[in-house]
Amino acid sequence: MFLTDYHIHSTCSDDGHNTMLEMVMASYEKGVRQLCFTDHCDIDHFRTGEPNPNCFLIRRQMLDMYKNTLPAVPKDMKVLLGLELGEGNHDAAEAKKIADSEELDFVLGSIHNLKGKPDFYETKYSSDERSQALIDNYMEELLELSRIDCFDVMAHIGYPSRYIRKGGERVEISTRTYGDTLTALLKNLIERGKGIEINCSGFRTPPGGGSLPSVDILRLYKELGGEIITVGSDAHRVTNAGVGLAEGFDILRDLGYKYVAVFVKRKPSFLKI
């Protein structure tokens, strides 16, 4: 099976555990034949929520590691260089400047934390009511991000739910609970030529459970005319490289998707699945 992975990390990310070459070879063994590195560049610091003006200091490290990796890539595999740009709506001008860096093939747009707050991963969840308020604010910020031209594909819609569920709270980001907001969000992306990803990390981290976004949101995107969709493992170590991608491709086929998107120099093209 031909697999693509457009969300994967190396040691250029603070939370990455393996080099680009190690991630490439582990992914190749799992059947990945096109891969784009998307190391973290968050406008806010993930532990504090405070502005992080040095977030793109990883640029030189990324470029050097990528350049040194390419000669060792298997001949039937394509490896590209992208970025996961977090919280672009918190400083749109800076985000646009980073995203326009000439070496980037692809930019994921993410929200890992709300304005002035730490990453959802770092947050303590104490009640359903507080968790619901955080989700409401998250959906508002996703809408903000959808109006900004600093990315190609919106990453892991529903991100907070994976951590809130682990904390034992009950939340749901679905067309049932946020139908109007999700419709507006997806329409914004489609009208601006942006896509979404199916993030497959939940297939390896129960109770994360399944894809981000959920299947009903993926279905809504298609019903609204959305066509640009990428598949990502969100792997940060070799043991997770390629894990969940096959399940993600199966979901897309079951929903009637015919193609996945791949990018070179920020321009999408499509591969039949």
Domain limits, the chain: 3-272
Phi–psi pair at 233, nearest 5 degrees: -80, -25
Name the CATH topology of 3-272.
Answer: TIM Barrel (3.20.20)
Of residues 110 and 130, the one with the higher pLDDT is 110
The DSSP code for 149 is S
Tokens of 127: 């009640």
H/E stretch holding 78 reads strand 78-86
Q: Render pLDDT for 125-154 as a digit per residue (tens, 0 to 9).
A: 778 888 889 999 999 999 999 999 999 999
Q: Does residue 207 surpass a pLDDT of 60?
A: no
Q: Does residue 261 surpass a pLDDT of 90?
A: yes
H/E stretch holding 261 reads strand 259-264
C-alpha distances in Å from residue 120, one per residue of 27, 149, 158, 246 = 27, 24, 11, 27
Q: Does residue 104 surpass a pLDDT of 60?
A: yes
Report DSSP letters for 204-224, one per residue: TSTTS-S-BS-HHHHHHHHHT
Q: Render pLDDT for 59-79 as a digit per residue (tens, 0 to 9).
A: 999 999 999 999 999 999 999
Give Cα 176 to chain centroid, integer Å.
23
Q: 42-45: which pairs have CB atoms within 8 A and are 24 or more residues apart?
A: 42/85, 42/86, 42/87, 42/110, 42/112, 42/113, 43/85, 43/86, 43/87, 43/88, 43/90, 43/91, 43/94, 43/95, 44/86, 44/87, 44/90, 44/113, 44/115
Give, rounded to a whole angstrom, the gap between the first and last alpha carbons of the chain: 9
Residue 49 pLDDT level (bands cut at 50, 70, 90): confident
Tokens of 96: 């646009």
The two beta strands, 259-264 and 267-272, are antiparallel
Return the pLDDT at 163: 82
Q: Render pLDDT for 12-23 as a digit per residue (tens, 0 to 9).
A: 999 999 999 999
Q: What angle do CA 80, 263, 152 make, to 5 degrees?
A: 115
Nearest CA among 263, 190, 216, 272 for reference residue 7 = 263
Amino acid type, 117: K
Return the pLDDT at 136: 95
C-alpha distances in Å from residue 253, one per residue of 129, 204, 250, 257, 258 = 37, 20, 5, 5, 7
Of residues 209 and 265, the one with the higher pLDDT is 265
